[in-house]
Chains A and B, each alone.
Chain A
């Protein structure tokens, strides 16, 4: 991973967002991933989403663990602080960072090895705590940097580049998140920008833990015939159950949908999600049914995508559970944190 800065050449007609910033202002360092890597498409979707949301780059904090996926936080929003932690432990860094300052937007980017093997515990507990963050799992079923070992998300029967067949049951991050009480659970495909960009926006605006599992093929180690995480296989076995449109706050809603097809969801910041159900029987507000639907489709070899589950209530996030003050903890004046010498004397009475 070299650290080449992209030349800041700007076309004067580049579109600007509400802050007057162009998409270029949300880019990061040059990617050093393999040409055609799914992760780069995800990076591009993230860049698009945060630009469209008109977030100030410094309002973001980017967190990652170790692995190809975890490099991607360097490739967008160079105006945001990034933290590339240790393998599988990004959720704890994000949790601590979030505890310190509830007012930033946290984007964690992880991979299937990082989230589902070494970091499965932290992934699970960040969901349980409902840490207010967007968590993207760039899922390719394979360890890239160590050259092609199966990851925990590899399907039974999927073949490695060397021809070995995986025999262990896969861990599905969406099923796991459903069973752990996740409040926003989505799946997408790196190649489907139309689906992914609104999901990222919705996930960032969701108050709580928003998990997007993004199938993101590895062109070097897992894009061959026999792999169930290749571009071709993914495109063929792609089942979009719900399409999400993100409607920013104060937007006049003009699109019309047929009755019963659309589920409007009000977000806490005034934005709205419109969930277009592509499968009429699907209910993204029902945890049990979502679980069953996913399992059924998986048995049929189909990857269900879209916003799979959105908690119908307002699940309290970590700060709400902790009843923390509105002022971020890293900004509470020191004088408000201790009762001084007089207070100490009174505390010590008990011990005298």
Chain B
């Protein structure tokens, strides 16, 4: 066995990657590992790369220990835990020079593991497991827990923190805590006796996670829907959005069931398909409940006809698109930002929709509430453009806060008294020139009754095939969309005040962009950053682009969809926008942004900027 090279200490700043077989319980072991580092006050980032499969295929988990709290992939792997024989060869290659690889030495693997520039550490995990645990399934599960113990010894993770986490997870099953702790201890003891503990890669307690939580975006969005007051959740299962409605249902089952009667103040309905799911969302919103659905790209394709109806008949709706790799079925367990154009213009005819772009689970929570307020204020569908990376990975983010003074903005919904005070109710008449008419709910007053239809209608709500009457409504809908520009969240702009180079991004690219900006700044390339939070684009978006000579548009798709949308919907000259595209299906790394920017600007530019500084 090679001795680890004497690399410099890498305290709280390295990347662990764990190669596993899916369906073996590795995800919970890996989450426990990450959470224990988090509990030691050290910022972490975790990404799960899993197959579209139930059991038996390769899966990886990447944990970045990041004292500077960069919640993005760095592009390095410093420690590989290679638990899947099938992927050994690939996994060995991926370790950065000077790094470490741990494998299960129950079976000799020397031939495939040979590499001079990394240290390879073996531990006979399966053997120890077989000696200490009974039952095939149990042995498989415990092997994963055992490497957590092994790593605890190698990285100096506090075993008591792990025990505490197990106590919390299995508070009702103390026997499981003991079994898991036994596995942790076995791994820990083996490493202490046989491996060079600690490694130069080490965890040292910090105090940088206080006030933060580790939560995934789907859970946060589900919780956001609870706080938004959503009561109806029709949906159809689709990766990677399924856990969102699961979370909503789970929170509701705890928070909204009368303990005495067992009666529920919510309805989660598993629809027969996405067409029905969105139909139910429209029916419920039309009838005055806050209803939403969660889906992914293929679901949006199916929902498109109804989305057009909602736009034209002005029915509020909230749709969460947890984006995954397309086209077609694509790669359902990989991430992309590939539905931007699809959602912006979903459905036939002239349609445009409001999009919100959360950049992490924290924003998923708040944007769910905003989405309902906007949908009801504007009486139109609103999309929350999450993605698999945000939705299904645990992110470290600031603790979610709630303002008890919040009340839902139900928009212009007329009360019975208001309806009855009117000479006559006209559904699509814009009385106060903001592009938004008043609506009424069924069951309130016969005087408020109207006929909701996707066929041609005039501003009074009547059927029409008259060109002028049709156009009046279409033009007012456009005014309403422009009005949305004043209501949606403004972009977050981080400007140096000196740079004429800008960078524009949305959603989950945020972490990679933040780190890339710091790296570039250190290399003498300061870049201003605009993180767009919504479509339609606000005035500030236009202003930012007007005030920068060159703008990098960072996005996770092949076709530069955000750049297209910017050129279609603002006055920015196309030549100003330079795309940095990432569409591998894995979350973006800061490294590729840095490299793309440097390549584009060239050395001369870099030098002149450095000189100017």
Contact = CB atoms under 8 A, between A and B. Distances in A.
Interface in A337-352: 337-341, 343-344, 347-348, 350-352
A351 B220 CA distance: 10
A122 B279 contact: yes
B255 interface: yes
Given A83-B452, A86-B305, A97-B283, A329 B227 contact: no
A258 to B, nearest CB: 43
A171 interface: no
Interface stretch (B18-26, B83-91, B180-188, B258-266): B258-266
B213 interface: yes
Nearest to A88: B275
A80 interface: yes
A326 B276 contact: no
Interface of B: 168, 212-215, 219, 223, 226-227, 229, 231-232, 234, 251, 255-258, 261-269, 271-273, 275-289, 291, 305-306, 309, 399-404, 407-408, 440-455, 462-464
B229 A337 contact: yes
Nearest to A63: B283
Contact of A83 (B219, B286, B444): B286
A330 B287 contact: yes
B449 A324 contact: no
Given A83-B283, A122-B272, A330-B288, A100 B232 contact: yes
Nearest to A77: B449
Nearest to B232: A99
B84 to A, nearest CB: 29
A325 B258 contact: yes
Contacts of A347: 223, 251
29 contacts: A2-B463, A56-B446, A83-B451, A83-B452, A84-B454, A84-B455, A86-B454, A92-B279, A92-B283, A95-B276, A96-B283, A96-B286, A101-B287, A104-B443, A125-B271, A125-B276, A318-B269, A319-B267, A323-B264, A324-B263, A329-B265, A329-B284, A331-B288, A334-B407, A336-B265, A337-B265, A338-B227, A348-B400, A352-B213
B451 A96 contact: no
Most chain-A Cβ atoms within 10 A of its Cβ — which of B404, B443, B444, B452?
A: B443
Contact of B213 (A57, A58, A93, A348): A348
A147 B411 CA distance: 42
A255 interface: no
A80 B442 contact: yes
Contact of B451 (A82, A95, A332, A340): A82
Nearest to A337: B229
Interface of A: 1-3, 56-59, 61, 63, 73-74, 78-86, 89, 91-101, 103-104, 121-122, 124-125, 129, 318-319, 322-327, 329-332, 334, 336-341, 343-344, 347-348, 350-352
A96 B233 CA distance: 9
A121 B273 contact: yes
Given A96-B287, A323-B264, A101 B442 contact: yes
Nearest to B454: A86
Given A79-B446, A81-B442, A347-B251, A96 B452 contact: no
Contacts of A325: 258, 261, 263-265
A79 B443 contact: no
Most chain-B Cβ atoms within 10 A of its Cβ — which of A63, A81, A121, A324?
A: A81
